[in-house]
Amino acid sequence: MIIAAAQIKSTRHDTNANIQSHLKWIEQAAQQNVQLILFPEMSLTGYERELAEAYSFSENDPRLIPFKTASVLHQMIIIVGAPIKIDDRLHIGSFVFLPDNTTTIYTKQFLHLGEEKFFSPSFNFNPVIDLGNEKISIAICADIANPQHSENAYKNKSTLYVASIFYTPNGITEAYEQLSDYAQQYSMNMLMANYAGVSYGLDSGGGSAFWNKVGVLIGTIEGAQEDLLIVESANDEWRLKKMI
C-alpha cells in the first residue's frame, strides 16, 4: 500500500489556480502508484474565515468533477479540504473522492477558538474509508487536539488516521506529540498533511509526517516547502518511499 501527504501552497482568492495545483500534485502521486493522497485543511481555498462562505463549495459542486475523474483514472482516494455549504450551514470539510466514482464528505467536529463565528461543527459526516486492509478515519486540524476524536476513530476500528491541518511553526511540535501519542495509545497509523508557505497571512509550520502504529516517526518533510511525502507498507511494516 502506498499513501501520500501533499504539503502544498494555496493561492488566496484563486480557487481555480488551487484546483489546477491539486491536479498537478495528484498526477505526480499517480506516477508513484499512490493509492491515497491527503491535502491540508481547506486546501482548495487556503485557510479562510471571513471569506470562506464566498469561496465555499456545495456538495455536488461542478468544480469537483476533475477530482472525481482523477480518482477513477488513477484508482486513488483523493482527500481535499474546503469550506463546504450544506443545508445553509458552512462547515470546514473534506471531500473524499473514491475510485468507484463516488464522493463522500467529512466535516470538522471540533472547531478552533474563533472559527465558531463563521463555521458550524458537525458529527453527521464522519465516514470510515476502506483501503485494502486499512480502515481510515479523517480529522481536520483542531480535531486532533480533542482526545475524544481519536478515541472515536479507535472505537470505529480504524487502523489509519489521516489529519489535514493548518498549524503554524509554534503549534507543529504539539501536533507531533499528539499524533505520536494517539498512534501508541490506539495502535493506529497516522498521516498528517500541513501547508507549505503562507496561508491566511500566517506562516505554516510544514512538517507533514507519518507515524506507524507504535508511534515511531517514519517520515517527515523538513521545513515548510512544497513537497509530497510518500510512505508504503508491506506486511504491515511502513517505510518512507520517497519525497518528490
Give pLDDT tens digits along the chain (244 positions).
999 999 999 999 999 999 999 999 999 999 999 999 999 999 999 999 999 999 999 999 999 999 999 999 999 999 999 999 999 999 999 999 999 999 999 999 999 999 999 999 999 999 999 999 999 999 999 999 999 999 999 999 999 999 999 999 999 999 999 999 999 999 999 999 999 999 999 999 999 999 999 999 999 999 999 999 999 998 889 999 865 5
What are the residue boundaries of the structural domains of the chain, listed by start? 2-243
Question: In the prediction, which pLDDT does 180 show?
Answer: 98
- Within 8 A by CB and 6+ apart from 34, the residues are 2, 3, 4, 74, 76, 230
Phi and psi (nearest 5°) for 10?
Answer: -115, 140
Question: In the prediction, which pLDDT does 109 show?
Answer: 98
Instruction: Assign a CATH topology to domain 2-243.
Output: Nitrilase/N-carbamoyl-D-aminoacid amidohydrolase (3.60.110)
Question: In the prediction, which pLDDT does 16 show?
Answer: 97
In our burial notation (b when 16+ CB lie closer than 10 A, e otherwise), range 173-206 reads: eebbebbbebbbebebbbbbbbbbbebbeeebbb
